[in-house]
Structure 1
Amino acid sequence: MILKIWAMLYNATDPMVSRVVGNKFTNLPTGIWLNNGGIIGQQGAPGMPSNNRWMTNFTNHTLTSGLSDGTFSPIFYRNSPSFFVPSNNNIIPISIAVACTSTTGSQFGPICPAITPPPNLLLQVAKDQLTYSGPENRWHSRHNLYRELRLDTALLQSDTTFTNFDYTINYENTGLLDSVKTIATNPALNNNLNLLQSAKTTNSAVSPLLNTEDRAKAVNSILLDMAFAGTTLLTSQQLSILQGIAAECPYTEGTAVYDARVLVAPYDSTDYLNVCETEYSIENNGRFMQQDEKRSINEKSIFEIYPNPTDDILYIKAHDSTETGLNVFIYDMTGRLLIEKTNKIGFFEVSVGHLPMGMYSIKIRTGNTVYNRKILINR
């Protein structure tokens, strides 16, 4: 499914296209969460969204009519200056037309209220009744709900399920790590040495169960060190750690990836986007790879890449001797292709000594299959 969001919604003069790709919406019953608290989700009723399909009032549920004035669309956006109208107002666009003449929720602006997530789904998250495609998905759902309850006391007090959830998660890794971050980053709290010491003890005692928690603990440690020192400056070691985290995938390594990107921003101009956030490849049938597929590939020792980190030469070896006709591509974090090599013997020696220190993405292609890895150049 391709969802195009047009710039008319933002008072711009030219169209801006955004792409959302998904194939397991039955495992994402709340739809798409927006960073301003809004939600595009649970289209139609009853039940959850179908795979690659947004439910509408129309006979053909895959499209909203390009001839409509938008009033029948279940996805609501702002109506100023105008909604999207297809060319000559007489064609059905290939992609979904998002249009409406009235607004019922978030208008994608700083002054807009958040659209209230479906209460029944939030209760299911709180009761741990949903089926997730991976443990990271469960973590994100519970973490999002925890933060929502922190900000919305009315929602918190609306059901004992939420108050019980909030009490329980406060003593789990999610709540403990968030409380440490709050103390380390709040100017009203991080000048209290007793509070900082208590937060440091709590952070040290956390035993991460997932990468999301491991990265949050690592970022918290650096934030606490900065608070103790009364500085906003990073040491070279701290910067190196944060650059590594900033280059990772926020979907599997969690929101600490975004925190790391903010902290390293004053030190370099790298656009830290992981391939999981940007890649849309025909090799994978034009979709993002599902997490269970990523895991099954990662569990196989298909390729050996060493040393990693490296300072000069990188070796790439295919463990399966039948893997011939290998293509290697190395990109920086902005997606710019830096190195491309091909051979037919299943072994590479790639010189990266001329590249600046930092995180890079390496893509290995054999036949119609593509494998993605990250490498770190450090000297």
Structure 2
Amino acid sequence: MTVEQDPRPYPFSEPDRLELDPAYARLRSDGELARVQCPYGSPALLATRYEDVKLVLGDRRFSRARAVAGDQPAHTPIGPGPEAIVAMDPPEHTRLRRVVAKAFTMRRIEQLRPRVERIIEDLLDDMEKQGSPADLVTRFARPQPALVIFEMLGVPFEDREQLQEWAETTLTATGDRYTLDDVLGALGSLRAYVAGLLEQRRREPADDLLSVLVTARDEEDRLTEKEMLDLAVGVLVTGYETTSDQISNFVYLLLTRPDKLRELREDPGLLPRAVDEMLRYVPLLRATSFPRVATEDVRLSAGLVRAGEAVLPAMMSANRDEAVFDSPDELDFHREDNPHLGFGHGPHRCLGAQLATMELQIALGALLRRFPRLRLAVPAEEVPWRVVTLQRAPRELMIEW
């Protein structure tokens, strides 16, 4: 068990579609707690083993708030402020999470199922009418989760394209495409837009999540004005970006793995387990973000983390840990024991995990049912990928049926 002294650049390499950099496997095998340097901020330690990643995510000795307060390692020029829910520790984090948690209970998600199914069928109807070939990203993967979360929040769907442009700019991973002024401008525009909607709800309350936030602020005094705005912006951006990208990633994965596509066609009952397995297998992030800072010395299996050191928990590496998953580099739709960390772990585990899982299952099931001859319209190596955002996903996914 060792800790490297000289930081190595991180990410280790430019992402190659859905391939995971082999450096993660070497670090897990060698028992190294790598010291890495992200494009911004100070160096950090990189946890790659499942037991270490889970501990960093769930143990209160590792603080998100301390990371944000310092020169945190980051992949974007600006990160969340200290009043953002993703930057808080309990009990402050717990207080904010409770405000929105009622919108994401299992009972509420199941009530949404008929509406999600209708949205998906309507989008597939429109795509089929437009004819083959079609871009799955623009015709289906991006609008579907946006329609769901926009309805939950009470955001006009006709503003989707502008909102997605602002959101994508704020999630830029490098300065190759956007300047810092571009990123700050997009974030400012997004926040101003959402602030306007919140003011509208003050005048005209509705049955949506924005109204819930306004009530929590104005009538219950459970939120500050900035916390209310941060929560609304956070739910809006994270509520559809991840699910949208995973729909595209999962379809690409299935269409480039004919044996796996055939398995699902022959046994649709495998779909829930297949979605779970793809959540484990697909490395959604280009590189690990959201560091934690140790508040005291903590020993991990791969080395000692001293008080004050920042740690990046690599969930994509943990999901390929040989100590936890049999044949982890294989895509196995029959995997029974699958405690993946695709939605995180601990206090910051994704609040919308149940909603995202339901959307992914319904979306993939409907695609396979409606288009039994679904296939890529271009060779797999010609599919263009986004290269500057934090998450991996095809920029365009041309399909035909």
What TM bracket, shorter-length normalisation?
under 0.3
Q: Which protein is bigger by CA-based radius of gyration?
A: 1
Bigger relative contact order, structure 1 or 2, given CA contacts below 8 A and separation 6+? Answer: 2
The structure in which a higher percent of residues are helix is 2
The structure in which a higher percent of residues are strand is 1
> TM-score normalized by structure 1?
0.23
